[in-house]
Chain A
Amino acid sequence: MNIVVCLKQVPKKDSILRIGADQKWIDERDLSYEMSEADAYALEEALRQKEKHGGEVIVISSGPERVRQSIKEALAKGADRAIHLTDPLFNSGDPAVIARALAGALKNEKFDLIFTGLQSDDYGFAQVGLILAEMLGLPSATIVMEVQPEDSGVRVKRELESGWFQWVKLPMPALLTIQSGINQLRYATLKGIMAAKKKEIKEVKAADIGFTESDAISAQSIQRAYFPEKTKRTEIIEGKPAEAAAKLMEKLRFDARVF
């Protein structure tokens, strides 16, 4: 079974973020990057499926040179080869543009499943996977918690609201967006890191896949990026000390959720 995993590289979770000069996005200088969390789980799930059923795991990622780091990490963990969409024309904050580029690069690939993370840790649109499925004419399922390939297709467990689940069957090839926490992430071992040196990373430019200027036109754009504006509100809890303390505990538990 061949599985494509779409990876996105995002600023590390503990980064100190600053707003960029144009106020449209963060200042990307001096940042450290990592694989978006849900994508890391998607990769892990693909590697586990490969271990059970054989086949190949192909990772694909769009972005500048620095993205190689995350691609290499995926290869070190056990992915077989990679496709890196390096053309600046692909860079976009519009999930449709990214999906179009990915679709172009995947047109000639043979695969049974495509995994994406449920959503990225930066924009959090949760759209690229779905738009990509639409462009490739594939069935799709979102918020996937378990993947069970069967003879004629794949059974997946989806997470619903309030602790509910749902099993869905799809024909293959299909696209699944994977929820974080579906499995336990492996490490890239020293052996894996050295083995990754020999694995293929195919660089793809716009011209290679017939992606044109007009394909890069964004249908949506970011108006302004800003930090949450702080509002200060002081609440005085009245009553006897014991009652006030009980009320305070309740507020800490249910409003502030610090317990």
Chain B
Amino acid sequence: MDYTLTEEQEQLRRLVEDFVAREVKPYEETAGEDFPWPLFRKLGELGLASIPFPTEYGGGGLDYTSYSIVLEELSRLGTHLGSVLAVHGLPQLILNQFGDESQKRKYLPAMARAELLGAFALTEPQAGSDAAAIKTRAELRGDKYILRGQKIWITHGGDADVYLVMAVTEKGKGSKGISSFIIEKGTPGLAFGKRERPMGLAHHTREVFFEDCEAPRSCLVGREGDGFKVAMTALDSGRITVASTSLGLAQSAFDYALSYANERQAFGKSIGEFQGIQFMLADMAAAIEAARCVTRKAAFLRDNGLPFNAIASMAKLLATDAAMKVTTDAVQIYGGYGTSEDYPVQALFRQAKIGQIVEGTNQIQRMIIARELLKKFKQ
């Protein structure tokens, strides 16, 4: 395992830096809550909307390590585009791994060009952590699936062009009765509810309704009954992306805190000269380094075809907890100014909390890790 960036990874990082400075910052200064379409489309032009997916479907064909580096960098530079790409990546991953040839040809190249935006719809009002308890039904009638039910907290909901939806095709079979579908915006019966307005995020999540939504039979992704496995496979990799964006967030908060500690004066010196602040800075830096190492290792294992799901959960757990701790301490180092919306760290602090909840709460990550650890005794 190598801890330095390859020439190409460093170039990608610089490309991100260049793009953010020239276009993202000016755009986001005046942008409201709406989805940043021009920036998303530009990610497609730059080849960044499909980094780890095969070149034959328009993807970048790169490894997860490079992908992770780009997401971290986007986040470090203070844009939400890293999270946009991470969410867009879930349906891409599923289509690529479980989709049939015509589904791949239909969606992947357009998603790589950022002409189509993707969403991932699993969570329901009564089923979050316990994802197998979803109730949305999909019934095959003739050559159509009829979907009925409600999703909630769907990132890109209402904006996305394609939704990877988990629904129950066979009742009473629990996780084995779930299937996954690719549903296009505009399908009759697909409707959107209110925005949920989660804290710290520029763009919102939404409720998604299926009101006798009629989708052609060809929208089934993978086999009937495989949906839960499909979702969990996507989330295993997704956790590396959440870890990456959280690391960028943490690094950004740390960089702010470090330079503020150097500037802010109290008792006749800069506050960075007090051991109480120094210990905080040291702990923050150490937490980021440690979480980054584990995140890179998870990507490395994945890139080399080795089992990575427990370590991806560890990366998600450690990186999002590090981000929570680091952003909390960054607010503390800024003192009262840390709480002001005129200063950057409070926004990072609110955003960090989201990381501990999405794609499996950190309690669920611990469950996954423990299950892996104890597995060997179960045979």
Contact = CB atoms under 8 A, between A and B. Distances in A.
Contact of A190 (B7, B18, B48): B48
A69 B15 CA distance: 12
Given A73-B14, A194-B8, A187 B60 contact: no
Contact of B15 (A68, A189, A197): A189
B133 interface: no
A188 interface: yes
Contact of B47 (A68, A69, A72, A189): A189
Interface in B43-67: 45-48, 51, 60-62
B12 interface: yes
A190 B46 CA distance: 6
B10 interface: yes
A191 interface: yes
B7 to A, nearest CB: 6
A85 interface: no
Interface in A181-195: 187-191, 193-194
A189 B11 contact: no
A196 B10 CA distance: 13
A76 interface: yes
Interface string B1-23: 00000011011101100110000
B254 to A, nearest CB: 17
B12 A190 contact: yes
Contacts of A189: 15, 45-47
A187 B48 CA distance: 12
Contact of B18 (A68, A187, A191, A194): A187
Nearest to B42: A187
Contact of A188 (B15, B45, B60, B62): B15
A197 B45 contact: no
Main SS of the interface on chain A? helix
Nearest to B47: A190
Using C-beta atoms within 8 Å of the partner chain, give the interface range for chain A: 10 to 19
B11 A191 contact: no
A190 B15 contact: yes
B63 to A, nearest CB: 12
B256 to A, nearest CB: 15
A187 B21 CA distance: 12
Contacts of A73: 11, 14
Interface in B17-47: 18-19, 45-47
Main SS of the interface on chain B? helix
Contacts of A68: 7
A201 to B, nearest CB: 11
Contacts of B47: 189-191
B11 A72 contact: yes
Contact of A187 (B7, B10, B46): B46
Interface string A191-212: 1011011000000000000000
Contacts of A196: 11
Contact of A69 (B7, B19, B46): B7
A72 B7 CA distance: 8
B19 A193 contact: no
Contacts of B60: 190-191, 194
Nearest to B10: A69
Interface in A54-99: 68-69, 72-73, 76
A76 B14 CA distance: 12
Interface string A214-255: 000000000000000000000000000000000000000000
A73 B7 CA distance: 10
A187 B15 CA distance: 7
A20 B44 CA distance: 43
A198 B152 CA distance: 47
B11 A76 contact: yes
Interface string B183-214: 00000000000000000000000000000000
Contacts of B62: 190, 194
Given A73-B14, A187-B18, A187-B19, A193 B45 contact: no
A77 to B, nearest CB: 10
A191 B49 CA distance: 12
Contacts of A69: 7, 10-11, 14
A2 B178 CA distance: 61
Nearest to B6: A197
Nearest to B61: A194
Contacts of B8: 193-194, 197
A189 to B, nearest CB: 5
A224 to B, nearest CB: 28
A188 B45 CA distance: 11
Nearest to B60: A190
Given A68-B7, A69-B7, A72-B7, A193 B12 contact: yes
A187 B43 CA distance: 11
Of A188, A196, A197, most B-chain CB atoms within 10 Å:
A188
Interface of B: 7-8, 10-12, 14-15, 18-19, 45-48, 51, 60-62
24 contacts: A69-B7, A69-B11, A69-B14, A72-B11, A73-B11, A187-B15, A187-B19, A187-B46, A188-B14, A189-B15, A189-B45, A190-B15, A190-B46, A190-B47, A190-B51, A190-B62, A191-B47, A193-B8, A193-B11, A193-B15, A194-B8, A194-B60, A196-B11, A197-B8
Those 8 A-B pairs whose CB atoms lie nearest each other, nearest first:
A190-B47, A193-B11, A189-B47, A190-B60, A189-B46, A191-B47, A188-B15, A193-B8
Given A72-B11, A193-B8, 8 more contacts: A72-B7, A76-B11, A187-B46, A189-B15, A190-B12, A190-B62, A193-B12, A193-B15
